[in-house]
Amino acid sequence: MKKFSELNDFVAFSWIGITLAALAALGFFLGSWLDSKLNTAPLFMIVFMLSGVALGFLRVYFSLAFKNKIDSKKNNNDQKED
């Protein structure tokens, strides 16, 4: 059963790199588009890209905290059964 749990963890968190890259890219392109419309290059590109990176790290942090909370509850339940 432990092997399944490790595989499940791998699948559940394989999105971390994709999420960080996608949010940074989305911020970059949104900022570039906004800069082209407002003629403010590279102000919004930098601001939105950094915001995307920050949101990506927050997403990862809260996901890991949630996973840790679930694991600790599971471990507590396992200890009570023993």
Please tell me the number of Cα atoms within 13 Å of 70 on its side-chain side: 8
- Greater confidence, 54 or 72? 54
pLDDT digits 0-9 by tens, 22-47: 999 999 999 999 999 999 999 999 99
| pLDDT at residue 4, rounded to an integer | 61
Q: Which two tokens stand for residue 9?
A: 């963890």
This prediction has a pTM of: 0.74
Would you state the pLDDT for residue 46?
Answer: 96
3-state class percentages of the chain: helix first, strand second, coil last, to nearest 5: 90, 0, 10
pLDDT tens digits, 4-18: 667 777 777 777 888
Alpha-carbon distance of 57 to 34, in angstroms, equals 24
Q: Residue ranges per domain, the chain? A: 22-64
